[in-house]
Amino acid sequence: MTLYQNLAKRLREHIQHDFYKPGDKLPSVRQLAQEHGVSISTVQEAYRQLEQDALVEARPKSGYFVCSRKKDNLPSISRPPQRPLEVSQWEEVLNMLMNRSGNNGVQLQHAMPDMQAPTLKPLLKTLADLAKQKPELGLGYADIRGSEELRTQLCRLAVASGCQLHPDDLVVTSGCQEALSVCLRAVTEPGDIIAIESPSFYGSMQAIKAANLKAMEIPTHPETGISLEALELALDQWPIKAIFVTPTCNNPMGYTMPEDKKEQLYRLAQSYDIAIIEDDIYGDISYQFPRPKTIKSFDEDGRVLLCSSFSKTIAPGMRVGWIAPGRYRDKVTHIKYVSSSMCPVMPQLAIAKFIRLGGYAKHVRQMRQHYEQQRDHLLLAIKTYLPSDTRVSFPDGGFILWVELHASIDSMKLVERCREEGVDFAPGPLFSATGKYRNGFRLNFSEQNAERREWAIKTLANILQNSELRAKAG
């Protein structure tokens, strides 16, 4: 690194670790030059780089300040239908999964982590070594619950989220999608009603559909999550069998429920004697330190089924997820067996070693910082190029955010038009049981570099000028 890059890196770390808080004045150019023994121009170049990263702003005759990162123009509180509904939208989800822009396009539609990170190299080496040195490990049957070594390491990780687990408490799955599907079938019968946040991840919605369940979408706040008041009213009115939530670094909104609300949600489920299925797939890449507690950490009677995987922290192709199913362990294990039997062993052993040797902790630590910078880049681009009435979420972790355009805009038409120009995103109707959120969409900010993402937002802004994108009245 050059001198100015080193200085910028140190200042960035101080800002990210709240040594300098939003709105704080930073040391003067002259003061930093004296403290670090560098030239005035070196300090100016370092500050210029931080300005480009949207971490610092220069104020005339006042100096440099940490950007305030205001959470203004957040999406509105959702208002889903007040009755249970069958989930539709599968054709639309399949269309998004199958259709992609060309190789030169900007892919913002899938929640994919950055898989080019150099911190993944030890994991890749372990995988290669296992394949060469012990290839027979990948050929036979293994423990249906998953590798004991991996389950032991997962218990170590769970401590950070407030959970005290034993390896026997866990069941390894083929990713989080299987974990969610297994849990739904473990706590319901066809025709039952599931309470779920709105908007909610389309994979969760389709898991509800596949289990022949009905979704009761609950109003959700873009900062604090599912409305407990609305949920309690729904529990009084309808025979809801389980609550399905992503309370930490939510998909698609990005919020993290406050800890007291998580405990209140658990107590509410306890008072109505129903299960909670908790999707914590983004929890390890929360920008908060220490990472937020799970609802599972408050679980006294085993009613919380905690699901997660390494699909968002490492890579989706590893297909390693897990469940801490509490009182439903035997039923979950049986459903997992009849669903897909055991999971491939090699990825489990490689990830277990990656965790044990400290590689995973280092990787997620760097990814948190990386994704937070990427978030700020994208938020700045949205503020700069999209219409002034655009509403956008402010993620507390992960690498996705939610955008809400004027009510007259049809995101289904918008995505088709953008794809022609090489830009893909996930349109809003996919995140509802019945195709609501026509004017919303989700963006991923992990894969493409800042320049490519900015070009994508400019392209989207230009296309928005087209009046044909207006949604039909009503």
For the chain, domains (ranges, CATH) are 3-66 (1.10.10.10), 84-115+361-472 (3.90.1150.10), 140-359 (3.40.640.10)
Q: Which residues make beta-bridge pairs with 279? A: 307
- Write out the DSSP string of 245-293: E--SS-TTT-----HHHHHHHHHHHHHHT-EEEEE-TTGGGBSSSSPPP
* Residue 445 tokens, joined: 């900010």
Nearest-5° Cα angle at 450, 40 to 280 = 115
* Residue 29 tokens, joined: 């150019």
Q: Considering all CA atoms of the chain, what is the largest pairwise distance in Å, rounded to the nearest integer? A: 71
- Write out the DSSP string of 410-446: -HHHHHHHHHHTTEE-EEGGGGSSS---TTEEEEE-S
Q: Which residues make beta-bridge pairs with 59? A: 63
| Side-chain half-sphere CA neighbours of 114 within 13 A | 23
* Spatial contact of 442 and 424, defined as CB atoms under 8 Å apart: no
Q: Which residues make beta-bridge pairs with 85? A: 215
Integer angstrom CA distances of residue 363 from 288, 375, 447: 16, 18, 16
> N- to C-terminal Cα distance for the chain?
56
Distance CA 327, CA 427 (A): 37
Element housing 65 (H / E): strand 63-66
Element housing 391 (H / E): strand 391-392
Q: Which residues make beta-bridge pairs with 193? A: 214, 240
Question: CA 224 from chain center: how many Å?
Answer: 15
Pairing state between β 106-107 and 423-424 = parallel
| Side-chain half-sphere CA neighbours of 222 within 13 A | 18
Question: CA 295 from chain center: how many Å?
Answer: 17
Per 3-state DSSP, the chain is made up of helix, strand and coil in percentages (nearest 5) of 45, 15, 40
* Residue 169 tokens, joined: 């408490």
Q: Please tell me the total number of residues recorded for the chain in this structure.
A: 474
Instruction: Provide the residue type at 55 as one letter.
Output: L
Nearest-5° Cα angle at 43, 37 to 49 = 140
How would you write the pLDDT of the chain (474 residues) with one tens digit per residue? 688 899 998 898 888 777 888 878 999 999 999 989 999 999 999 998 888 777 888 887 788 988 866 566 899 899 898 899 999 888 888 888 887 655 578 989 989 999 999 999 999 999 999 999 988 888 888 899 999 999 999 999 999 999 999 999 999 999 999 999 999 999 999 999 999 999 999 999 999 999 999 999 999 999 999 999 999 999 999 999 999 999 999 999 999 999 999 999 999 999 999 999 999 999 999 998 889 999 999 999 999 999 999 999 999 999 999 999 999 999 999 999 998 888 999 999 999 999 999 999 999 999 998 998 899 889 989 999 999 999 999 999 999 999 999 999 999 999 999 999 999 999 999 999 988 999 999 999 987 688 899 999 999 999 998 656 665 533
pLDDT of residue 473: 39
Please state the pTM of the whole predicted model: 0.84
* Residue 22 tokens, joined: 């939003």
* Spatial contact of 216 and 96, defined as CB atoms under 8 Å apart: no
pLDDT of residue 100: 64
pLDDT of residue 135: 87
